[in-house]
């Protein structure tokens, strides 16, 4: 074997050793890319859920407002019957009783509609809190992925460890969603 062949084999062995040292880094980057994709999808779905709950809450408040207006109109009509002198007192009392019954029903419905709307608003807040956690997780995982990739350029493992810290923060943020109501 000639001297330059020995040198080539030595360089090839060193190059292979570098590649095998960087395999864990490349694998970590692949895993981080998958985690970024998963948290991105979960974040988008959670934002969509928050928007849908907000639309339902808005519809519920509109229902509440419509019933409140009907209740107010019924109250005005009842007040008018009490203020105006009507020739047929019996008929006026019957109409006033009907209005009073309607008013009682409206008051019950208003409380029910208000509770439903407030419940939907709570769901909006919960979905937004979950979405914020997913957004933070996505950002931290992406930062971890980028910093980890610097390891391939510099061949310095300090970037791999630093990137893993960000990635662990991202994973913790994504898992913290499980602790929210």
Task: Give the tokens for residue 178.
Answer: 């499980």
Q: Mean pLDDT over residues 150-161, rounded?
A: 91
Claim: this prediction has a pTM higher than 0.75: no
Q: How far is CA 78 from CA 66, 134, 140, 168, in A?
A: 18, 54, 62, 66
User: 3-57 pLDDT, tens per residue?
Assistant: 554 455 445 445 554 567 788 998 999 999 999 999 999 999 999 999 999 999 9
Phi-psi region of 170 (alpha: psi -120 to 50; beta: other; left: phi over 0): alpha
154 by Cβ neighbours in 10 Å (0-12 / 13-18 / 19+) ranks as exposed
Where are the domains positioned within the chain?
3-179
Q: How many CA atoms lie within 13 A of 33 on its CB side?
A: 8
Task: Give the tokens for residue 115.
Answer: 């509770």
**Among 15-29, 57-71, 126-140, 152-166, the least confident range:** 15-29
pLDDT: which is higher, 126 or 96: 126
Q: What is the pLDDT of residue 104?
A: 77
> Would the pLDDT of 167 be above 80?
yes
Task: Give the tokens for residue 4.
Answer: 């330059």
Question: Does the structural domain 3-179 have CATH classification 3.30.420?
Answer: no
């Amino acid at each position: 074997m000639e001297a330059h062949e020995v040198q080539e084999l030595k360089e090839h062995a060193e190059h292979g050793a570098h590649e095998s040292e960087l395999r864990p880094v490349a694998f970590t980057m692949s895993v981080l890319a998958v985690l970024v994709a998963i948290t991105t999808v979960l974040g988008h779905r959670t934002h969509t859920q928050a928007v849908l709950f907000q639309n339902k809450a808005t519809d519920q408040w509109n229902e509440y407002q419509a019933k409140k207006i009907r209740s107010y109109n019924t109250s005005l009509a009842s007040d008018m019957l009490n203020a105006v002198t009507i020739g047929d007192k019996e008929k006026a009392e019957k109409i006033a009783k009907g209005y009073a019954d309607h008013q009682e029903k409206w008051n019950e419905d208003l409380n029910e509609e208000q509770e439903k709307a407030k419940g939907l608003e709570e769901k909006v807040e919960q979905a937004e809190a979950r979405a914020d956690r997913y957004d933070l997780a996505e950002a931290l995982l992406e930062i971890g992925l980028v910093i980890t990739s610097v390891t391939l350029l510099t061949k310095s493992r300090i970037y791999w460890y630093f990137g893993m810290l960000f990635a662990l923060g991202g994973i913790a943020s994504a898992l913290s969603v499980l602790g929210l109501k």
